[in-house]
Structure 1
Amino acid sequence: MTNDTSTTPPTTHPIGLLAGKVVLISGASRGIGAAAARLFAREGAAVVLAARSTDALDAVVAAVRADGGTADAVALDLADPASIRAAVDRVDALHGRLDGAFNNGAAIQQPGPLDTTSDEDLDTQFAVNFRGHWVAMTAEAALMRRSGGGAIVNTSSVGSRRANPALPAYGAMKRALNSITETAAVTWAPEGIRVNGITPGGTATEMIDAWEAATPGIVEQITASVPLGRMARPEEVAEVAAWLLSDRASMVTGASVPVDGGAGA
């Protein structure tokens, strides 16, 4: 008999985990980022939501405000270093400080073998999933250190922890992200800045829907690889990021936390 707790996500209740904190969330218009926006605000944070188009953020901002939270939107293109720095400057203008950053932007490549990955796709993966995070972290850390520190969480992937024949460029850039997460953690620890990563597995987002459309059957394949027997909800991934950004994780830095239902075990 299947244990219900292994297949049914628990219901959680706000406990003020991020009370009083200012948190920047990229990729906040959908999926994990949108779930994080709602969760972090319920946990007491003032959230600044970033995505390529602020139009796409309007509904998320409205939902957070309707629930009594504090939210603002800012345009952010992770492929454009100037846009990233401008978004962090906007946080400074709005709040005068930054306590937490959830770097959640992601670009999915056209699925396929390594030798069919185009130069353009490789360049996109580098710009968004590696360089974009590098630029974001350095800009965020510069603002954080003005008020004595903070916490950064980068979204990597279970695909960064092993061979990734289906998404080779994506996996490679996410593995590189794991490395700079660890390096940033060691570099900025003396300044009170913690840097961690999460490595989600299959998560029920629009990105997975697009992958299923391109490769029918991939959702069933991913689900079959998860010992807990299901894909994650975006909210479940956001819960782990919230804890890492909170003071409850004050001794955790340089970690890459799996959020994959055991798929990477």
Structure 2
Amino acid sequence: MSMSIQGRTAIVTGAGRGIGLAVAHHLVERGANVVFADRDEAALETVVADYDDDAHVLTFAGNMSEKLVMANLLSATLDSFERVDILVNAHRFVQGSDPLDTDPAVLEEMLRQNMICGLRLSQMVAKRMIRQAEDQRDLTQAGAIVNISTLAAIRPVPAMLGYSIACAAQEQATRGLALALAPHKIRVNGVSFSSVMSHELKLALKATPDLRDQIIAGTPLGRIAAADELAETVHYLVSDAARFVTGQILTVDGGRCLADPVTAQVL
């Protein structure tokens, strides 16, 4: 089955930098109409500056934690492209938290930014996808949603307990929404990553020079992947090649989740 997404319309959140930006660029290059959504308006203007006027791209700046902003994002998408076929929730917010004295406000913010926002936007977009399929009487494929998570969901980091909990909650939300939307022919999947060059990892590598060697040593494939490699996984999940795949969390981590951290240091 073809992986073509030519002419389909995608919304990508967190598209101002890092993983979200890589995914949005990749989908544009594969012929999709893409809405780059992020709260950083200046970053959005920079990342789309090199596109020709003929490129089917749209930028949307706003705080995705606000329901009205989500509604405006969907409206802007429909005004420009008349439909939405793909949603990639790539927005992430990372903040440390004391595992023994977690500030409730920090935990609530982690859950809101990394799970609740994506869930609400998915619900809103899914309703539109359902209406589109009904109008066109398309009973085979109504749309695809992908949530971006990290290995913290199954390998908790004590210093970022709130973020780890939020990632785990997001992955469970992915599975639950996949079941709920399957009768409507909307597929919902997740991508969990580690050892991939995200915006946050770039900052961490600058702050901790030895971190690169530690990550590589703990990754069986022995390197840090480019963000484009994760984008290719997202492309597969939103294409017809994955038409019978839903409720799955695909891990892109070079085998890191398989490695015993102690063994990795000894061998």
TM over 0.5: yes
Mapped to 2, the partners of 1:64 and 1:242 lie a distance apart of 20
Tell me the amino acid that sits aligned with residue 135 of structure 1.
R
What residue in structure 1 maps to residue 250 of structure 2? Answer: 257
Contact 1:39–1:238 under 8 Å retained in 2? yes
Alignment match of 2:48 (pick from 46, 61, 65): 61
Alignment-derived partner of residue 138 in structure 2: none
User: Structure 2, unaligned stretches of length 5 or more?
Assistant: 134-141, 259-267
Q: Does 1:145 align with 2:130?
A: yes
Q: Among all aligned residue pairs of Structure 1 and Structure 2, give the percentage whose two residues are the same amino acid.
A: 31
- 1:117-196 map, 5 Å: 117-148=102-133, 149-196=142-189
Q: Deviations over 1:64-121 (max 9, x none)?
A: 437x6310101232322221222122112211210001110001112x6412543332
Q: For the Cα contact (< 8 Å) 1:78–1:84, is it kept in 2?
A: yes
**TM-score normalized by the length of structure 1:** 0.87
TM-score of the superposition, structure 2-length normalised? 0.87
Per-residue deviation, 1:179: 0.6
After superposing the two structures, state which structure 1 stretch, 115-124 or 251-260, moved more: 115-124
Q: What letter corresponds to residue 142 of structure 1 in structure 2?
A: K
Q: Is 1:37–1:64's contact at 8 Å kept on the other side of the alignment?
A: no
Per the alignment, residue 137 of structure 2 pairs with none
Secondary structure class of the residue paired with 1:251: coil
- Distance of 1:237 and 1:136 partners within structure 2: 22
Which amino acid in structure 2 is aligned with residue 124 of structure 1? Answer: E
Taking the aligned partners of 1:32 and 1:99, their CA distance within structure 2 comes to: 20
Shift of 1:210: 2.8
Shift of 1:163: 2.9
> Quick one: distance in 2 between partners of 1:53 and 1:86?
16
Once residues 71 and 216 of structure 2 are traced to their aligned partners in structure 1, the CA distance between those partners, rounded to angstroms, is 38
CA contact (8 A) 1:156 1:198 kept: yes
Contact 1:31–1:234, Cα closer than 8 Å, also in 2: yes
Which residue is 2:230 aligned to?
Answer: 237
Write the deviation string for residues 227-247 of structure 1: whole angstroms up to 9, x where unpaired.
111112110011100110111
Residue identity matched to 1:126: L
Runs of 4+ in 1 over 6 A off after TM superposition: none
- 2:72 alignment counterpart: 86
Task: Confirm or deny: 8 A CA contact 1:16 1:44 kept in the other structure.
Answer: no
**Structure 1 residue 166: deviation in Å?**
3.6
Indicate conservation of the 8 Å contact 2:3/2:241, yes or no.
no
Taking a change above 3 Å as real, the CA distance of residues 142 and 251 of structure 1, as seen in their structure-2 partners, is same
Instruction: Tell me the alpha carbon deviations over residues 130-166 of structure 1, each in whole angstroms, 9 at most, x when there is no partner.
Output: 1111111101101111222100000011111233224
- Report if aligned partners of 1:78, 1:127 keep a CA contact under 8 Å in 2: no
- In the aligned structure 2, how far is the partner of 1:26 from the partner of 1:86? 13
**Equivalent residue, structure 2, for 1:12:** none
Contact 1:42–1:69 (CA<8 Å) still a contact in 2?
A: no
8 Å CA contact 1:65–1:71 kept in 2: the answer is: no
Letter in 1 for 2:29: R
Report the RMSD for the aligned CA atoms in angstroms: 1.9
